[in-house]
Amino acid sequence: MPSLLSLGARAMFANQAALQTVGNNIANANTPGYSRQSVVLTTAPGQYTGAGFFGRGVDVQTIERAHDQFLTRQAAATKSAAAGDATRSDLLTRLGKVLPLGADGLGYAASQFLNAMQDVASRPSDPSARQVVLGRASDLAARFRDAGGQIEAMQAGIVGDLRNGVQRVNDLAQQIARINDQIASNRGSGHEPNDLLDQREQLVSKLSEFISVTTVPADDGTLGVFIGGGQRLVLGNSASALQVTPDAYDPNRAVLTMSDGHLQRSLDESVLTGGTLAAMLRVQNRDLVDARNMLGQLAAAIGTRVNDQNALGLDLSTPARTGGNIFSVAAPRVLPSTNNPSAALPQVSITDATQLQASNYLLKVTAGGYEITQLPDGKPIPFVNGDTVDGVKISFPASPAPQVGDSFIIEPVGMAASGMNVVLDSPNGIAAASPLTATSNVANTGTLSIQSIYAVNGNFSATTAAQLPLTLTFGTANPDGSVNYSLSNGQTGVWRAGQPIGNDAPPGIDLGFQLNTSGVPRSGDSLTIDPTKYTGANNGNAKAFLGLQTEAFVGRQQQRDANGVLLLDANGNPVMKPGATVTDAYAADLSDLGARSQSATYLSGVSAGVASSAEQARSSVAGVNLDEEAARLMQFQQGYQAAARVLQTAQSLFDELLRLAQH
Q: Determine the Cα–Cα distance for residues 501 and 485; give it in Å rounded to an integer.
A: 10
573 DSSP 8-state letter: P
User: Does residue 394 share a domain with residue 338?
Assistant: yes
SS3 helix, strand, coil % of the chain, rounded to 5?
45, 25, 30
Cα 128 off chain centre by: 43
In whole angstroms, give the CA distance from residue 451 to residue 447. Answer: 12
Residues 405 and 486 in one domain: no
CA distance 507 to 509: 7
Could you give the CA distance from residue 227 to residue 269 in angstroms, rounded to a whole number? 11
Name the range with the highest mean pLDDT among 5-9, 137-141, 490-494: 137-141
Whether 39 is covered by a domain: the verdict is yes
Question: Does residue 453 fall inside a structural domain?
Answer: yes
pLDDT at 1 over 60: no
Q: β-pairing, 576-577 with 369-374? A: unpaired
Last residue of a domain, one of 531, 552, 568: 531
297 vs 650: which has the higher pLDDT: 297
Q: Give the C-alpha separation, 44 to 33, whole Å.
A: 34
Half-sphere exposure of 176 (CA within 13 A, CB side): 31
Among 1-10, 277-286, 411-420, 594-603, whose mean pLDDT is lowest? Answer: 1-10
Is 115 domain-assigned? Answer: no
* φ and ψ of 368, to 5 deg: -95, 0
Mean pLDDT across the chain, nearest whole number?
90
**Distance separating alpha carbons of residues 92 and 104, to the nearest angstrom:** 19
Q: 457 and 378, same structural domain? A: no
Residue 161 to residue 609: CA distance in whole angstroms: 25
Tell me which H or E stretch contains 186.
helix 127-186
| Cβ atoms of residues 25 and 37 within 8 Å | yes
- 316: helix, coil or strand? coil
Q: Quick one: 373 and 452 in the same domain?
A: no
Q: Is there a domain that residue 343 lies in?
A: yes
395-399, 462-466, 511-515, range with greatest mean pLDDT: 395-399
Q: What is the domain extent for residue 336?
A: 331-410
Least confident of 35-44, 346-355, 548-557, 564-573: 564-573
Reported residue count of the chain is: 663
Q: Which amino acid is at 107?
A: G
Residue 268 has pLDDT above 90, yes or no: no
Q: What is the pLDDT of residue 161?
A: 96
- C-alpha distances in angstroms, 599 versus 82, 89, 406, 596, 604? 14, 8, 38, 5, 8
> Where does residue 82 rank: exposed (0-12), middle (13-18), buried (19+ CB within 10 A)?
buried
Q: Are residues 378 and 440 in the same domain?
A: no
Compute and round to an integer the Cα radius of gyration of the chain: 40
Maximum distance among all alpha carbons in the chain? 160
Q: What is the pLDDT of residue 208?
A: 94
Average pLDDT over residues 13-18: 90
Residue 461, pLDDT > 80, answer no
Q: What is the pLDDT of residue 605?
A: 95
Residue 320 reports pLDDT greater than 90: no
Q: What is the pLDDT of residues 433-442, one digit of tens each?
A: 999 999 999 9
Highest mean pLDDT of the ranges 165-179, 369-383, 543-557, 572-586: 165-179
CA distance 614 to 603: 16
186 close to 194: Cβ distance less than 8 angstroms: no
**Do 338 and 406 fall within a single domain?**
yes
pLDDT category of residue 597 using cuts at 50, 70 and 90: very high
Domain total of the chain: 3
Q: Of 496, 512, 531, which closes a domain?
A: 531
Asked if pLDDT for residue 333 goes beyond 70, the answer is yes
- Distance in angstroms (rounded) separating the CA atoms of residues 391 and 556: 9
| 259 within domain boundaries | no
Does 59 reside within a domain?
yes
pLDDT of res. 462 = 65
The pTM of this model reads 0.87
Residue 291 inside a domain? The answer is: no
Domain termination residue (choose one: 491, 508, 531): 531
CA nearest to 525, candidates 480, 490, 464, 477 = 477
Based on the fold, state whether residues 470 and 524 are members of the same structural domain. Answer: yes
State whether 516 and 458 are in the same domain: yes
Residues in Cβ contact with 389 at an 8 Å cutoff, skipping those fewer than 6 apart:
361, 372, 381, 383
Centre a 10 Å sphere on the Cβ of residue 550 and count the other Cβ atoms it contains. Answer: 10
In three-state secondary structure terms, 194 is helix
pLDDT tops 90 at residue 659? no
408: pLDDT strictly greater than 90: yes
Task: Give per-residue pLDDT as tens, 28-87.
Answer: 999 888 999 999 989 888 777 777 778 788 888 889 999 888 999 999 999 999 999 999
* Of 180 and 503, more confident: 180
Mean pLDDT of the region 267-277: 87
C-alpha–C-alpha distance, residues 555 and 297, integer Å:
8
| Contact call for residues 413 and 332 (beta carbons, < 8 A) | yes
- Tell me: do 380 and 468 sit in the same domain: no
Peptide bond into 319 cis (omega under 30): yes
Q: How far is CA 283 from CA 155, 202, 490, in A?
A: 9, 28, 59
Answer whether residue 148 shows pLDDT above 90. Answer: yes
CA distance 112 to 107: 9
- Read off the pLDDT of residues 623-639 as tens digits, 9 standing for 90 and up: 899 999 899 999 989 98
Residue 635 placed within a domain: yes
Q: 347-373, pLDDT tens digit by residue? A: 999 999 999 999 999 999 999 889 999
The whole-number average pLDDT for the span 287-293 is 95
Please tell me whether residues 441 and 363 are part of one structural domain. no
DSSP string covering 349-399, please?
A: EES-GGG--S--EEEEEETTEEEEEETTTPPEE---TT-EETTEEEE--SS
pLDDT, residue 463, reads 67
Q: Do residue 460 and residue 378 come from a single domain? A: no
The mean pLDDT value for 183-199 works out to 87
Residues 198 and 34: beta-carbon distance below 8 Å: yes
Q: Among 225-234, 502-511, 529-538, where is mean pLDDT lowest?
A: 502-511
